[in-house]
Structure 1
């Protein structure tokens, strides 16, 4: 007999798990996975012929013809080749499959590359520049590996853009205590939902080149771009098109995942890193370290193959795949607009346009008595607000202090993933709660 609550279910707006919030899986991906998991279906199931061919190809690339066998530590070669082809189609520039390392989600790939920086130079630890607000994978991993977190603030007033003078300030201040060796950029942004302009990316590349920094380009939301006028530009593409001296010397690691985009296959744990301009001995050492973990999930790798090499026009599965992809992204676009518009209509709230990714990160004001109540409860004000919201409505969001924010400001991150009807209910409950909360602490 649990405690009685004024709601019937918890709305998990705290995590970017699309399928947990009702998104329907892409048919082509699940049909291929069904066949590679239970090969008898290849002959027995009424699946399109391109599904069956893909399953045979993947099984043929697996040791012993079984998805249950170990693969090469950095991934099945055929799938790495398909990822390189995907990147070439996206960027219109060559990609080498030897520079592709598959991983159990992008998170593992990011952590693998971070380990390259664990050595100390001149008695000082290595520093890694990360955005504030940031995805907590970075702060947690830096702490785990003994690396120094070097925060730089995104500019909320400029649609969470990345200002060059802020990068320079952060870099110069940190150099006193550590050797700054890398720069993390999340684009489209988590938790902030911004999409960087091409000119912004060019300036970031030039900054990183001037300071000899390895760039971590976290691009897992590259399919999730919604706002009119916004466009995803990969760091690899911009780097190549900037030409020398940048294109052949700036070290870059870019990351992609099957957990986001239109796929939302979080639980399958599939991702990849593309390594650009790393010294061959360094890359060889990274692959050697990766081999200690045996291999990422072969089932996740099979899903990667479906994403990197989706059905093409004229193939039997193409029309359904294209329709399902378009429907997912169209619905996310509508929800992105709805959630920002709703928050901007609420007293004391300000929410930037959700240009991409899967999140809104609105700022909000709290009355003085709420600040006093939070202090008395031993909680940060945004944490106090988020707990009250959960207790009264069942809506679970993440306080902005969990991601970092400018002192004196309050935010929270919410996903745009609840399906449309549930999202409308959530936002209606949010408005009622905020009015009652404000009145209570007025």
Structure 2
């Protein structure tokens, strides 16, 4: 059996409702608490998904003020709103038909927003971005769906294949399935900080060509769920590989403003591509994605993002128009938030001080959560966690005793699902089991969200540590089977405690 067949078969074994089952049980537990059922906790904490506002982080005042004024134009005459808020809202209304955000925008986004995004990308990468190559979408998942519709299914007799990292964002595997594309797995190297290994990419595509027609390479940087940050040199290696194999690079960069650690900084695939120069910068096809759902913005409910298309063949122009024009336009409120994300208040504007303060507060809270998480997990026997360079998740590995694995098998559960289920029942903490993300057989992980209020994160880690210590008492490593435990005592990497404010265009 090939790697492709083995992975597909393993993915089919994984219940599509693992998180759904745990979520349903979490709701039931909350209902039981409200009905007076005694529990060792007063509420369920949900760290299973990346929803910053749902996990207690507050929305940015400037964003909500602009939205309010756009929704209710009489506020434009209200002096209680800062002047730059009213000016921004008035500008947006001027770009809406009839001066109302209830009007129908263009399919590819409000023109002003396209220009704001192109200017943001140009500043970030030091290379001009054409606003005509930018499409505003209803979030990153829809952007992925639109991209796959461009070439999957294709006229080729074999099924379209997409090289996909494992572990990966589970929403992408669902999108692949919906579009009838084949997942071509390439495994990130955990021992080297979840890095992409070019030799593994080559092996994956060679095996895949026996079964499908690989046309695209999907990368997530910073990583979800792994929390890795890809270096510029690594990105350039991946670009060269894509050029050799004539693959479209789909770069999911929605966590680009969630980077942690002194000296670490995000490098976009577009910037690395430009730096490589000819022939790469003129030939390699790239689609890069961003969203208002992550970072300090955290506006998951507004459903908006963008995709920039670079170097796509001109023969695709009509197909691009067809695909993006036949979907629903991105919500106007989301487009307003996107414009603020890429063009925030500037120095000397009234809203700048508060906006900067709020952004820095959220960034520091998240970095504190990263540090606490590293400290807790790396202090526990039976858990290892790679350094977290970016993103909003920790993805620790569980090293379970044979007794624990057999206990799960007797209940027809993946060991990590059993772990998460008991954690929910005993401590009221909901997290995502790694088996949902298609990991290799015999490897067990959990995914924990880091984008939460600090108090919630502290309490969640306290509950998890307490449960894990009990779990080890119930299922201890035997002398013969305890080879994994020594890995758990790697010291947590030092994190800065007092960072200076970054440039505001990077503050999100």
Other-structure match for 1:322: 356
Superposition pairs for residues 236-385 of structure 1, below 5 Å?
236-385=270-419
CA RMSD, Structure 1 to Structure 2 (Å): 1.2
Secondary structure at 1:288's aligned position in 2? helix
Give the distance between the partners of 2:140 and 2:308, measured in 1 at CA: 11
Q: Give the deviation of 1:121 after TM superposition.
A: 4.2
State whether residues 70 and 294 of structure 1, in contact with CA within 8 Å, keep that contact through their aligned partners in structure 2. no
Other-structure match for 2:442: 408
Give the distance between the partners of 1:85 and 1:202, measured in 2 at CA: 24
Q: Give the deviation of 1:422 after TM superposition.
A: 2.0
State whether residues 284 and 311 of structure 2, in contact with CA within 8 Å, keep that contact through their aligned partners in structure 1. yes
- How many equivalent residue pairs? 442
Q: Give the deviation of 1:229 after TM superposition.
A: 2.9
Give the distance between the partners of 2:95 and 2:180, measured in 1 at CA: 38
Q: Deviations over 1:231-254 (max 9, x none)?
A: 100000110110011001100000
Other-structure match for 1:136: 170
Q: Give the deviation of 1:4 after TM superposition.
A: 4.0
Q: Give the deviation of 1:135 after TM superposition.
A: 0.1
State whether residues 65 and 81 of structure 2, in contact with CA within 8 Å, keep that contact through their aligned partners in structure 1. yes
Give the distance between the partners of 1:180 and 1:296, measured in 2 at CA: 30
The farther-off stretch of 369-378 and 182-191 is: 369-378
Other-structure match for 1:158: 192
State whether residues 254 and 273 of structure 1, in contact with CA within 8 Å, keep that contact through their aligned partners in structure 2. yes
Secondary structure at 1:58's aligned position in 2? helix
Give the distance between the partners of 1:336 and 1:189, measured in 2 at CA: 14
Other-structure match for 1:233: 267
Give structure 1 stretches of 5+ with no counterpart.
Answer: none
Give the distance between the partners of 2:75 and 2:391, measured in 1 at CA: 35
Residues 122 and 75 (structure 1), Cα distance of their counterparts in 2 relative to 1, 3 Å cut? closer
Secondary structure at 1:107's aligned position in 2? helix
The farther-off stretch of 216-225 and 397-406 is: 397-406
State whether residues 145 and 179 of structure 2, in contact with CA within 8 Å, keep that contact through their aligned partners in structure 1. no
Runs of 4+ in 1 over 3 A off after TM superposition: none
State whether residues 63 and 69 of structure 1, in contact with CA within 8 Å, keep that contact through their aligned partners in structure 2. yes
Give structure 2 stretches of 5+ with no counterpart.
Answer: 1-30, 477-508
Secondary structure at 2:80's aligned position in 1? coil
Q: Deviations over 1:57-103 (max 9, x none)?
A: 11111111111111001100111001100111111110010011001
Give the distance between the partners of 1:133 and 1:147, measured in 2 at CA: 18
Other-structure match for 1:437: 471
Paired residue for 1:116, among 125, 129, 150? 150
State whether residues 370 and 388 of structure 2, in contact with CA within 8 Å, keep that contact through their aligned partners in structure 1. yes
State whether residues 153 and 180 of structure 2, in contact with CA within 8 Å, keep that contact through their aligned partners in structure 1. no
Residues 435 and 278 (structure 1), Cα distance of their counterparts in 2 relative to 1, 3 Å cut? same
Secondary structure at 1:247's aligned position in 2? helix
Q: Give the deviation of 1:319 after TM superposition.
A: 1.7
Other-structure match for 2:460: 426
TM-score (norm 2): 0.85
Secondary structure at 1:20's aligned position in 2? coil
Residues 339 and 39 (structure 1), Cα distance of their counterparts in 2 relative to 1, 3 Å cut? same
